[in-house]
Chain A
Amino acid sequence: MERMEDCRFVAEKVKNVPPSGIRRFFDLVSDNEEIISLGVGEPDYVSPWHIREACIHSLEHGETSYTSNSGLIELREEISRNYTRRQDLYYNPESEILVTSGVSEALDLAIRSIVDIGDEVIVTEPTYVAYIPSIVLAGGKAVPVPTTREDDFRVKAEEIEKRITARTKAIIINYPNNPTGAIMPRDELETIAKVAEKHDLVVITDEVYERLTYTGKHCSIAALDGMRERTIVLNGFSKAYSMTGFRLGYILAPEPLLNAMMRIHQYTMLCAPVTAQVGGIEALRNGESEVQAMVNEYNRRRRLIVKGFNNIGLDCFNPGGAFYAFPSIAATGLTSEQFAQRLLEEQKVVTIPGDVFGKAGTGFLRCAYAASREDIKEALERIEAFLNRL
């Protein structure tokens, strides 16, 4: 078969998008009973029943039409109330909230609405895999800024500032972070906010793991003094409510920015799936106790896996959020890629090599602990056996 890169019909800007490292790894994994996967970036819970039940009910009652472009008003009102309760920050449901098909769409809208050809966007590395391709597709240039284990994978304001040019338009931050599990306390966010203000940058903050914060309380950069007018908050239902397949997210932003994103959304997506929106209303109204129970269980697994890695001799950063552990495998002398591939072949455990998330991830592995405790324990035993045979 002809490669996409050689096909004369395919646009250059698509050819310029680097292939996904995760995708490559996916192709190595066969559907095998014996495999334990720590490679899955989504909850292992089925969506809570009350949410599914509300969706079934709405389908039975014929709610199958388009909604308004910005999403059902009841949903936007719940989002607004819910966000105010958590962050002490008000967004007007009529004019400052847009319901999207997941944070994925929200991210694309945020970038496309602010990036002109040649504009630069700063992304922290290790980075969620969609940021750089989204920037490239919008005609922009992604400028990575590394974060390190020594700094708890928190981005340093001076590292950002070093990379700012006349073309820098925005910074994307993502705390709690995929793939490191890092979180960012308020005082360190302040330093980033100062840089953004000084250089008049937009901050896109992907807070999809917000509810999965285990140490301290999540703080949104939008809540800091003077930041609301230049911040685009992305959030969604995938992780907190275990609703990945529903495809439901939202954007909070000041009106001019929201209108710009709306301009794109109304023509490219029209509206988010109505059934998902009904599920979202139910989730926000009655989902709190199930969220708490899931967060408690993730927290136990987090302790189990971090302790487990350190016990078998893999230095593991203590992640404050999300559901990823990011142990260092540098001491083994293998590259992340070699380690992950051999671990899969020899012990049938799926992990994701850290460099898939950028150069700063070299020497690390992403291990999702959204897996049962039994699977986590078994995976740790197999990894130990693998290490012993190196």
Chain B
Amino acid sequence: MDSKTRDILEILENNARATPEEISALVDMPSKEVEDSIRHLEKVGIIRRYKTVIDWELAGEDYVYAIIELKVSLERRQGYDAIAERLYKFPEVRSVRLLSGEHDIVLTIRGKTMKQVAFFVAEKIATLEQVQSTSTHFVLKTYKEDGLILEEPEHAKRLPVSP
């Protein structure tokens, strides 16, 4: 990948709303070309989607998040991918990861209440044939997510004029 394309991706990763005109000035490329390049990146799936990070707590909508560790047993002709698929099709499941180590799969789940999440795990996840055990951890506070620090960012305290 050439450095300009990389640059475009980096800019969009930090601000999905950057317009082709803005990006054009930053990477020194005509905005028409930036537009074409973005369209191509979208088409081949390098740009998967544009996402907005929302502080739901601030918006007054409380969500409960939980991390669920699973041990699974593999069945004949069915690998981890098949189990993962059964899991990720639930909309409550926000992420599914295959792990090395003690547990096989880890999920994040979002729900409205702890009770709702607990029931979901008990009824939908733990009951799956391949799932041997589950271990549920409710999230108390998130400090950093997807590379974004959720506290006030720090700024260099500089004098307004210096040599």
Chain A positions near chain B (C-beta within 8 angstroms): 20, 22, 25-26, 29, 31, 35, 37, 39-46, 128-130, 178, 242, 296, 300-301, 303-304, 307-308, 350, 352, 373
Contact = CB atoms under 8 A, between A and B. Distances in A.
Interface centre among B7, B27, B161 (most CB of A within 10 A): B161
Contact of A35 (B11, B155, B160): B160
Contact of B162 (A42, A128, A296): A42
B162 A308 contact: no
Contacts of B155: 44, 46
B43 interface: no
B49 interface: no
A26 B25 contact: no
B161 A37 contact: yes
Given A46-B154, A300-B11, A26 B160 contact: yes
Given A45-B156, A46-B155, A25 B25 contact: no
A303 B162 CA distance: 23
Contacts of A308: 25
Contacts of B160: 26, 29, 31, 35, 37, 39-40, 350
A42 B158 contact: yes
Interface in B143-163: 154-156, 158-163
Contact of A350 (B26, B27, B28, B161): B161
A40 B161 contact: yes
Contacts of A303: 25-28
Interface of B: 7, 10-11, 25-28, 154-156, 158-163
A42 B156 CA distance: 10
A43 B156 CA distance: 8
Contacts of A44: 155-156, 158
A216 B151 CA distance: 39
Given A303-B27, A304-B26, A308-B25, A22 B158 contact: no
A242 B160 CA distance: 16
Contacts, number: 61
A304 B23 CA distance: 9
9 contacts: A22-B161, A35-B160, A40-B158, A42-B162, A46-B154, A46-B155, A129-B163, A300-B27, A307-B28
B14 to A, nearest CB: 10
Contacts of A304: 25-26
Given A44-B156, A300-B11, A350-B160, 7 more contacts: A31-B160, A43-B156, A46-B156, A296-B7, A300-B26, A307-B25, A373-B26
Nearest to B28: A303
Contacts of B162: 22, 39-42
Contacts of A373: 26
Nearest to B3: A296
B161 A29 contact: yes
A40 B156 CA distance: 11
Contacts of B154: 46
A35 B156 CA distance: 16
Nearest to A128: B163
B161 A39 contact: yes
A303 B25 CA distance: 6
Nearest to A130: B163
Contacts of B25: 303-304, 307-308
A39 B161 CA distance: 5
Nearest to B15: A373
Considering the complex of A and B, which 3 residue pairs feature the smallest CB-CB distances, nearest first? Answer: A300-B26, A39-B161, A26-B161
Contacts of B156: 42-46, 242
Contacts of B159: 26, 40
A52 to B, nearest CB: 10
A31 B161 CA distance: 11
A36 to B, nearest CB: 9
A130 B159 CA distance: 18
A178 B163 CA distance: 9
Nearest to A356: B163
A368 to B, nearest CB: 9
B31 to A, nearest CB: 12
Contacts of A300: 7, 11, 26-27
Contacts of A22: 161-163
